[in-house]
Chain A
Amino acid sequence: MPERTVVIGSRGGLHARPASLLVRAATRQPVPVTIARRGQAPVDARSLLSVLALGAGHGESVVLAAEGEGAEAALAELAALVADDLEGPAGDAVEAGE
């Protein structure tokens, strides 16, 4: 099954807005996509509560997986979302630290 391992780019982890954006994007895909933390059971990426319950923080790796026609394109789109910093609209995004 095609897979992608991605490091979470959002500062708050897969929470609030970043999690919502991922779930909305996953719902739009032609194939079901799963998301898992390393070494844990995969969950449906269309389920906001399951994605939140991963408790996946900034800088952690997650594995996206999908099968069937359009799987590669779906993974590419979702992997890009997970890797981005999706926190808040532009102007709210501030680099961490000094």
Chain B
Amino acid sequence: MTVPTVLRGIGIGGGAGHGPVARMARPPVPPPPRTVPPVERSTEAAAARTALAEVAAALDRRAAAATGPAADVLSAQALMVTDPALAERAEALALEGADGPRALTGAFGEFRAALDAAGGLFAERVADLDDLRDRAVAALLGLPMPGLPDPGHPHVLVADDLAPADTALLDPAQVIALVTERGGPTSHTAILARGLGVPAVVGCAGADGLAEGRTVLVDAAAGTVEADPAPGAVDAAAARERRRRRAAELTGPGRTAEGHAVKLLVNLGAPQEWEAAAAAESEGVGLFRTEFLFLDRADAPSVAEQTDVYARVFAAFTGRRAVVRTLDAGADKPLPFATAADEQNPALGVRGLRTATRDPGLLDDQLRALAAAARDSAADVWVMAPMVSLPAEAAAFAERVRAHGLSTAGAMVEVPAAALRADALAGACDFLSIGTNDLSQYAFAADRTLASLADLLDPWQPALLDLVHMTATAGARHGRPVGVCGEAAADPALALVLVGLGVTSLSAAPGALPDIRAALAAHTLAECRELADIARTSPDAATARARVGERARF
């Protein structure tokens, strides 16, 4: 009998699942180069061609099975790897004496250099070429395919970390759970897992050692990954998962046990999320991130293009609230036309609303487009600015929003200074929305992309809860709604605490709302306040989480 091994990390999504491990393979490491003797060269050339054909066939197979953006991505990649000019170059290099891996790498390298030189959108395809090169070399050497595995059956995906490019290709029907060695609670993997409703454990030290095909039990609520789990552990997790799913059947607006309303809203990003988000049981959008419109392009989108996109979102949320965050460029989302290249600390640089000072046209165009789209829609459109530091900034922003004919303007509270002056901030605009991810980063001086600082970035940190309390209290004094739209709102126990601190709406990934709705329905506002006091008076985040976990009913 194998002794069970339990690995620990940060659980995302609260669910559980078990299945065989499928690993994301690393890029192949080719053997040292050799000069192929003339007699073997035609064989080497044929092998290079066969490798390209194999990669193309595998991509075509996956494209045929996929739908939507994933199918497009896969068939475009297949078209690249079947390129006749690519095969000819690889063959020519092999006939000159290069070994197979070098012939392939050389052929890809020539096109890579040409695309790089073409710049702009063309240069962005370089990452695709590198991926295809690694696949072709792996096929030639008989090594595991790099990239997302496709074992042909449901599996637990184990990776170092996932890149944004992997997320379009991930099939939620095949992936039972996600485990990554790296990444924190706000990493791409975590956000993806919440969006898809797939249980995940990220920042899981030792995940590297989980062998392909080994059965693991991933318990996101406990943040554990158990290899070769005992049948009892699997049954217990399955029972918990059934209870969780029953809770998911509760519907309707967010309410505490006695009926105190807490709006439950969804966070919204790129277009592929819209359909599921609009269909989810929610009272609207609490955070519509508009960056996707501006990413991967050389120039800002036109007013007409923006209007069209906003109109489609507002149409999907007719009769519901739609809170739009204006462009949040800079830091981890640099844009060629809005980001300065010479900043040493981009997270502390000209980002969010600050870019509007340097380039007022960008914000005015966006507000014009939002106003045009809002005029023709029946959604309740609210607009808020990211990275507000001063009450005067909020007042100026609100004035600009209203000048464009939009009625409701708000400020995000992500900078500790804004929370400390929340009274003046609430007086200067119509609503506040707390972005807990950035507020943690700035309050604790801890880079939110570093897994090694996950403890400091824990949203249960009592100091962070103090800042939330300060903001919510100021909002209440001015009769202004105060929402939370960070990942903190996605944790049902923490959601109770936030409501107890005075937060009036919670916005999270659509998959997180059922658990939050169920948690709220099981507690009165007075109980939420009690839990908030317990959390805020705890000495540290772990104690706060444990004490509230003991008292809350799930």
Minimum Cβ distance to chain A for residue B266 (Å): 23
Q: Are B83 and A47 in contact (CB under 8 A)?
A: yes
Is A53's CB under 8 angstroms from B118's CB? yes
**B contact residues around A16 at 8 Å (CB):** 76, 121
Partner of B304, one of A17, A24, A50, A94: A94
Any chain B CB within 8 A of the CB of A20?
yes
Check A54–B121 contact: CB distance below 8 A.
no
Q: Which residues of B contact A50 (CB under 8 A)?
A: 83, 85, 111
For window 13-59 of chain A, which residues contact chain B by CB distance below 8 Å? 13, 15-17, 20, 23-24, 43-44, 46-50, 52-55, 57
Could you tell me the distance between the alpha carbons of A43 and B114 in the complex, rounded to whole angstroms?
Answer: 13
Given contacts A43-B85, A48-B83, A53 and B304 within 8 Å (CB-CB): no
Residues of A near B80 (CB, < 8 A) are: 48-49
Known contacts A24-B79, A94-B308, A98-B303: does B119 contact A55 (CB below 8 Å)?
Answer: yes
A52 to B: closest C-beta gap in Å: 6
Q: Is the CB of A53 within 8 A of B122?
A: yes
CA distance A52 to B117 in the complex (A): 11
Query: Is B84 an interface residue when CB atoms closer than 8 A count as contact?
Result: yes
Determine the distance from Cα of A23 to Cα of B84 in the docked complex, in whole angstroms.
11
CA distance A76 to B308 in the complex (A): 33
Task: Say yes or no: B83 contacts A94, CB within 8 Å.
Answer: no
Whether, in the assembled complex, B214 has its beta carbon less than 8 Å from a beta carbon of chain A, the answer is no
**Contact indicator A49/B85 (Cβ below 8 Å):** yes
> Are A53 and B115 touching (Cβ within 8 A)?
yes
Q: With A43-B85, A55-B118 in contact, is A49–B111 under 8 Å at CB?
A: yes
Is B5 interfacial (CB 8 A cutoff)? no
Q: How many chain A residues touch the partner (CB < 8 A)?
A: 25
Complex contacts, A48 vs chain B, CB 8 Å = 79-80, 83
Asked if A68 lies at the interface with its beta carbon under 8 angstroms from chain B, I say: no
Say whether A52 contacts B85, CB under 8 Å: no
- Asked if B125 is an interface residue, CB under 8 A from chain A, the answer is yes
Shortest Cβ distance from residue B125 to the other chain A in the assembled complex, whole angstroms: 6
On whether A23 and B125 interact (CB within 8 A), knowing A52-B118, A55-B118, A94-B305, the answer reads no
Check if B302 is an interface residue, CB within 8 A of chain A.
yes
Bound form: Cα–Cα A94–B307 in Å: 10
B493 CB to closest chain A CB (Å) equals: 41
Determine the distance from Cα of A20 to Cα of B117 in the docked complex, in whole angstroms: 20
Q: Is B176 an interface residue (CB 8 A)?
A: no
Does A1 reach chain B (CB closer than 8 Å)?
no
Let me know if B202 is at the binding interface, CB within 8 A. Answer: no
B79 contacts A23, C-beta separation under 8 Å: yes
Q: Interface majority SS on B: helix, strand, loop or mixed?
A: helix
Question: What are the residues of chain A within 8 A of B79 when measuring CB–CB?
Answer: 20, 23-24, 48
Q: How far is the CA of A50 from the CA of B86 in the complex (A)?
A: 9
Q: How far is the CA of A31 from the CA of B416 in the complex (A)?
A: 67
Across the interface, do B83 and A15 meet the contact criterion of CB distance under 8 Å? no
Contact A44 B302 (CB under 8 A): no
For the complex, give the distance between the alpha carbons of A77 and B147 in Å. Answer: 37
Measured CB to CB, the closest approach of chain A to B66, in angstroms, equals 16
Report chain B residues within 8 Å CB of A17: 72
Closest A residue by C-beta to B89: A49
- Residues of B contacting A55 in the complex (Cβ-Cβ under 8 angstroms): 115, 117-120, 122
Who on chain A is nearest to B122 by CB?
Answer: A55
In the assembled complex, the CB of B81 is this many whole angstroms from the nearest CB of chain A, namely 9
- Give residues of chain B (103-120) contacting chain A, Cβ–Cβ below 8 Å: 111, 114-115, 117-120
List residues of chain B with CB within 8 A of the CB of A54.
118
Q: Contacts A49-B111, A53-B114, A97-B302 known; A44 to B121 CB distance under 8 Å? A: no
Contacts of B122 in A (CB 8 A): 15, 52-53, 55
Considering the chains assembled together, what is the distance between the CA atoms of A11 and B75 in angstroms?
22
Return chain A residues, CB-CB under 8 Å to B114: 49, 53
Residue of A nearest to B306 (CB): A94
Tell me the bound Cα distance from A31 to B519 in angstroms: 67
Q: Which residues of B contact A52 (CB under 8 A)?
A: 111, 115, 118, 122, 125
What is the CA–CA distance of A24 and B78 in the complex, to the nearest angstrom?
A: 12
Note all chain A residues with C-beta closer than 8 A to B117.
55
Report the separation of the CA atoms of residues A86 and B122 in the bound assembly, to the nearest whole angstrom: 16
Interface positions, chain B 59-101, Cβ under 8 Å from A, are: 72, 75-76, 79-80, 83-86
Q: In the complex the two chains form, is A95's CB within 8 Å of B76's CB?
A: no
CA distance A15 to B122 in the complex (A): 7
List residues of chain A with CB within 8 A of the CB of B76.
16, 20
- When distances are taken between beta carbons in the complex, the residues of chain B under 8 Å from A47 are 83-86
* Across-interface contacts of B83 in A (CB, < 8 A): 47-50
Q: Mark B266-308, 1 if CB is under 8 A from A, else 0.
A: 0000000000000000000000000000000000001111001
Asked if B118 and A96 sit within 8 Å, CB to CB, the answer is no
Which single residue of chain A is at the shortest CB-CB distance from B129?
A49
The reply to whether B121 and A13 contact each other, CB–CB distance below 8 Å, is yes
Q: How far is the CA of A43 from the CA of B75 in the complex (A)?
A: 22
Q: List 9 A-B contacts (CB under 8 A).
A: A48-B79, A49-B80, A49-B111, A49-B115, A52-B115, A52-B118, A53-B114, A53-B115, A55-B118
Identify the 10 closest CB pairs spanning chains A and B, nearest first: A55-B118, A53-B114, A47-B85, A49-B111, A94-B305, A49-B83, A15-B121, A47-B83, A50-B85, A55-B122
- 19 extra A-B contacts, CB within 8 A, seeds A15-B121, A48-B79, A94-B304: A12-B121, A15-B122, A20-B76, A24-B79, A44-B85, A46-B84, A47-B83, A47-B86, A48-B83, A49-B83, A49-B85, A49-B114, A49-B115, A53-B114, A53-B122, A55-B122, A57-B120, A94-B308, A98-B302
By a beta-carbon cutoff of 8 Å, the part of chain B in contact with chain A is 72, 75-76, 79-80, 83-86, 111, 114-115, 117-122, 125, 129, 302-305, 308
